[in-house]
Amino acid sequence: MSQDLKETNELIQQRIEKIKNLKEKGVDPYPIRFFPDSDSASLIEMYSKTPTGPEKKFLLGGRLHSKRVMGKASFAHLKDKSGVIQLYATRDDLGEENYTLFKSLDLGDLIGIEGYLFQTQKGETTLHLTSVTLLAKCVRPLPVVKEKDGVIYDAFADVEQRYRMRYVDLVVNDQVRETFITRSRIVSEIRNFLTSEGFLEVETPMMQPIAGGAAARPFVTHHNTLDMQLFLRIAPELYLKRLIVGGLDRVFELNRNFRNEGISTKHNPEFTMMEAYMAYGDMGKMLELTEKLITTVAQKICGTLKIKYGNDLVDLSPPWRRVKYVDIIKEYSGIDFSQVKTLEEAKEKASSVKVDASKCTSIWKVADEVFSEKAEPNLIQPVFVTDYPKELSPLAKSNPENPGYVERFEPYIVGREIGNAFSELNDPFDQKERFEDQVKQREAGDDEAFMMDEDYIRALEYGMPPTGGLGIGIDRLVMLLTNSQSIRDTILFPLMRPE
């Protein structure tokens, strides 16, 4: 057993003994209720403008952040949701029993306090305590910055441990807590924006008999009563477009999706998307909507459209650059895939720029490998990549002037795809042919190819107006607007292997 672990175990036992002692004295270390009426930041701000005296008392709840006992008087700090405030406790004001309880408190203990404000000689706003209540004992010591062998280190710096014990991460890391508060604000602003644009928020099934709406491997589950296989949704797209058929002309959903695929700094198996569909819209309308949505949210959250991300300064000011898929690949690799005639030729050209496309089964899948490795990492400033090949876009409307391509775009910022949008395919006969082609690819071993969805074809046969669709990855957008380098930093509880 390491010395650190031995010390931790000893501290835990000491705190458990304190709980036993309190119970023997008839004190409940986990009382049923306490109602704060203030928080530290508002008290400090209020007192700076309108000082109050002993006649005005306040109730606060939070964690004991520091403590310095000096005989009959002690100083401490309380940390709550808004910040930190200094506390002053004396035996004369608290009484012998309550002061003894105060002195026995450990860092991290949740406490409820009552007191009045005053200012110390050093000018610090302080709460003079008149009562203290232990609300919940912090049995396990919180990680702190320590000094060992002359080196200062963070006892909770291990990233995997922080993700696994997010509840501790939120307690000790203010920046982490701010990131998730900002995430909540971002989601709220997206809702406000879409509602103001006339979109109706809806909910669609998360368990589906057919995994559709995206090229991804699904998670499989089973419904016992119905004795049927179900899939956790990989996208809500096909259900949302059924609603367009039904006459709900503008709909959106902030949805959880599940894809049984790799984990990286850009991917988590469970993630959040926003998908919106606009009847009588197209790729162009969705492009305008995307640009307006992201810039509006960024301005409200960051206060500027020029934001820092890592070592880059990203300028979100519209209009964003627009470039065709084949052109951006040619720009960064020198390969013009519109002129490539055979799969072997495509693989040779990919190999010439050191991209391994040996497992690819078509020219455009080779192109996508080259795009991912050569172009995507360089797309730092916002850009709309447009006009994707039809083969890679089984739900998008073909370009009337060039049927081998579709009306589709993806916005890229800081080397990452932020979203996906297109003019939706509403021809049931064309859609069925594309599904059939996807089924062939699936039978050939591509387990990310689309499944046949006969009911969706039936819905289209009732008629869907020309429609524009958009999906935006919320986690990646949060990464951008909070300067987070990993998607796990924007997800409260990312998927982890068991300990």
Nearest Cα neighbor of 125 from 37, 69, 51 is 51
Find tokens 């301005």 and name the residue.
Answer: 299
Tokens representing 174 are 């203010």
254 within 8 A of 187, measured Cβ to Cβ: yes
Tokens representing 130 are 């008149």
Cis peptide before 319 (omega within 30 of 0): yes
- Cα(180)–Cα(171) distance, integer angstroms: 13
Task: Answer yes or no: is 147 a known binding residue.
Answer: no
* Rounded alpha-carbon distances, angstroms, from residue 481 to 81, 117, 180, 382: 22, 38, 11, 13
* Rounded alpha-carbon distances, angstroms, from residue 235 to 12, 74, 82, 175, 213: 46, 57, 37, 31, 5
- Cα(384)–Cα(472) distance, integer angstroms: 13
b/e burial code for range 361-379 (CB count within 10 A of at least 16 → b) = eebbbbbbbbbebbbbeeb
Find tokens 């057993």 and name the residue.
Answer: 1
Task: Answer yes or no: is 410 a known binding residue.
Answer: yes
Nearest Cα neighbor of 110 from 73, 62, 54, 72 is 62
- Cα(189)–Cα(297) distance, integer angstroms: 6
Tokens representing 231 are 């899939």
- Cα(210)–Cα(242) distance, integer angstroms: 14
Nearest Cα neighbor of 193 from 271, 257, 254, 282 is 254
- Cα(114)–Cα(131) distance, integer angstroms: 5
Annotated binding-site ranges for Mg(2+)? 410, 417
Annotated binding-site ranges? 410, 417
